[in-house]
Amino acid sequence: MRFYLQKIAFYVVALWAAVTLNFLIPRLMPGNPVDIMISKMAAAGQPITAGTRHALAIELGGSSGSILQQYGDYIVNLLHGNLGISLTNYPEQVTTVIGQALPWTIALVGLATVISFILGIGLGMLAGWKRGSWLDNLIPVTTMFQAVPYFWLALILVLVLTRVVPIFPFAGGYDVTSTTPGFSLSFIGSAIYYGFLPALTIVISSIGGWMLGMRNMMVSTLSEDYIVTAEAKGLNPRRVRMTYAARNAVLPSLSGFAISLGFVVAGSIVTEQVFSYPGIGQLLFTAVSNDDYALMQGVFLVISLSVLAANLVVDVLYGLIDPRTRARS
């Protein structure tokens, strides 16, 4: 019980720190929304007079009061689920804007992460079981893909698979001309079709790590005494492989998996840039390039929370699965 209380206290502090930093960071940044809006309006040929600055300052509002007061307002708003108004999408609420983008990111990057993990673990298990096999020798090749810049690989795949051999669409989340979002076969099919190539690039570039990790753990586990005992007892090899070896070998990968799930939101930014995918990564990019503090904070908050949540899950699971972590002198 004390273990869990400790952990909970720990996460409360970590959450507070993340939220507070989230508050401070945009406030430390230079630039102000009025200037940026004026330069944008000038570029679009809008009239700029001395009155413009005044009008914009009124319309955009802006931070007032001491920093402590602002911090208080921020925490109160946060507790009410009020993340403020997005400047780039004025006057839309940040929560609405994030709500629109988040499902796409979770569906694409989240699923790709899951697929990559399951495939990687499965193949890694087999490679560790049959050392020196062709599959085992394939591992350095798949690890190679991890050492390649993701966007570079993705862009080359896009070039080949959407232009040279046009099999896949090059941009978007679904075919906007033929279907609308909804629970229809055409939409689901379209979403899968449009998500296939981005998902493929994510899987290709991340599967190597899972394979290698699982393979190495499998190899280590196989030389443990209890495996030898199991084999000596003449148990079915499949049973030894799955129930005795793989189950123990997968533990460290599981913790890695939980953390990588937490980074789904953060990791989506480059993917979505390459594929014009309508998710949260593009949102963050837009927010950063437009000095949209509220939107930036909102996205960071989602990222921080998901990472923290994933960590919490790991800790709790580990406490359950592996008693050694709990008992520390």
Could you say which of 1, 5, 50, 79 contacts another protein (CB under 8 A)? Answer: 50
Interface mask toward another protein for 88-127; x: CB under 8 A: xxxxx---xx-xxxxxx-xxx--x---x------------
Stretch in the footprint of another protein (CB under 8 A) among 66-74, 76-84, 178-186, 242-250: 178-186
CB 211 within 8 A of CB 123: yes
CA 86, CA 297: separation in Å to the nearest integer? Answer: 10
3-state secondary structure 74-92: HHHHHHCCCCCECCCCCCC
Q: Residue 322, interface with another protein (CB under 8 A)? A: no
**From the CB of 313, what's the least distance to another protein, in Å?**
13
**From the CB of 69, what's the least distance to another protein, in Å?**
22
Within residues 219-278, the interface with another protein by CB under 8 A covers 219-220, 222-223, 231, 237, 266, 269-270, 272-278
Q: Residue 140, interface with another protein (CB under 8 A)? A: yes
**From the CB of 72, what's the least distance to another protein, in Å?**
22
Nearest CB to another protein, comparing residues 160 and 320: 160
Q: Residue 31, interface with another protein (CB under 8 A)? A: yes
Interface mask toward another protein for 291-320; x: CB under 8 A: x----x---x--xx--xx--x---------
Within residues 54-73, the interface with another protein by CB under 8 A covers 54-56, 58-60
Stretch in the footprint of another protein (CB under 8 A) among 69-77, 84-92, 243-251: 84-92
The residue with tokens 């499965």 is 122
